């Protein structure tokens, strides 16, 4: 079974984070919400408080198949500044493991030189932080081990693209049909 980790910081975009968690759990992909705070409690950009499953320092990520970064402000800035997450993202990338980011969060990957030579997308206005990437305007962009997406309005497409990579197109299409979502 695939193991996913999604990283939450104060100021994360709730829909971008929780849509991934909800849809992954509907198709039995193990996903842990990991707080980069010193506590399990994380407050989203719109003042919705979430209790994360784990705290960053308490997790052994060796079983991980994918790391996911939701956007939102100032959550994206907190993700960018976290030293442990920095090392983890670079380690996963060096091993060719999946990395995914949505909205402003692809800028984290760009500023860590993970997008160099890859196609990527992000929330409008963050393009200059996709250092080394070929910026495209598609809602979801896959290039090698990296999947990026534009923002809250693309959260379901983003989640389904991740599910497709982890469990196959049939699973993604079946889930889309079950939630009455037109996914092609």
Does a structural domain hold residue 121?
no
Contact 118, 144 (CB under 8 A): yes
**Model pLDDT, residue 1:** 79
* Residue of 55, 73, 60 whose CA lies nearest to 122: 73
Does a structural domain hold residue 74?
yes
Is the pLDDT reported for residue 130 higher than 70?
Answer: yes
Q: Domain of 39: which CATH number? A: 3.40.50.880
Does a structural domain hold residue 75?
yes
Q: Which of 103, 115, 156, 163 is catalytic?
A: 103
pLDDT tens column, 29-46: 999 999 999 999 999 999
**Model pLDDT, residue 100:** 98
Does a structural domain hold residue 139?
no
Domain carrying residue 82: 3-99+155-178
pLDDT tens column, 80-90: 999 999 999 99
Query: What is the average pLDDT value for the chain, to the nearest integer?
Result: 97
Is the pLDDT reported for residue 184 higher than 80?
Answer: no
Number of H-type helices and E-type strands within the chain: 6, 11
Does a structural domain hold residue 106?
no
Is the pLDDT reported for residue 98 higher than 80?
Answer: yes
Is the pLDDT reported for residue 183 higher than 90?
Answer: no
For a pLDDT cut of 70, what percent of the chain falls above it?
A: 99
Is the pLDDT reported for residue 116 higher than 80?
Answer: yes
Does a structural domain hold residue 145?
no
**Model pLDDT, residue 182:** 84
* Residue of 100, 104, 113 whose CA lies nearest to 165: 100
Does a structural domain hold residue 78?
yes
Tokens of 164: 């497709």
Average pLDDT over residues 148-164: 98
Instruction: Give the whole-angstrom CA distance, residue 76 versus residue 78.
Output: 5
Query: Catalytic site residue 122?
Result: no
Is the pLDDT reported for residue 63 higher than 90?
Answer: yes
Burial 20-55 (b: 16+ CB within 10 A, else e): bbebbeebebebbbbbbbeebebbbbeeeebebbee
- Contacts for 51 with CB less than 8 Å, ≥ 6 apart: 40, 41, 42
Does a structural domain hold residue 81?
yes
Tokens of 117: 């030579």
How many separate domains does the chain show?
1
Q: Does this model's pTM top 0.85?
A: yes
- Contacts for 30 with CB less than 8 Å, ≥ 6 apart: 1, 2, 3, 4, 24
Burial 82-92 (b: 16+ CB within 10 A, else e): beebeebbeeb
């Amino acid at each position: 079974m695939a193991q996913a980790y999604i990283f939450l910081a104060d100021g994360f975009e709730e829909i971008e984070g929780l849509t991934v968690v909800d849809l992954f759990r509907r198709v039995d992909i193990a996903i842990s919400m990991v707080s980069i705070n010193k506590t399990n409690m994380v407050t989203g950009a719109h003042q919705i408080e979430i209790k994360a499953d784990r705290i960053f320092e308490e997790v052994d990520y060796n079983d991980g198949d994918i790391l996911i970064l939701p956007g939102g402000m100032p959550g994206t800035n907190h993700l960018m500044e976290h030293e442990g997450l920095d090392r983890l993202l670079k380690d996963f990338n060096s091993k060719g493991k999946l990395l995914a980011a949505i909205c402003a969060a692809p800028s984290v990957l760009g500023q860590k030189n993970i997008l160099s030579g890859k196609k990527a997308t992000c929330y409008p206005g963050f393009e200059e932080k996709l250092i080394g990437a070929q910026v495209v305007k598609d809602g979801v962009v896959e290039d090698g081990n990296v999947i990026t997406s534009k923002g809250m309005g693309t959260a379901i497409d983003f989640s389904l693209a991740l599910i497709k990579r982890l469990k196959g197109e049939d699973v993604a299409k079946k889930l889309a049909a079950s939630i009455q979502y037109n996914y092609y």
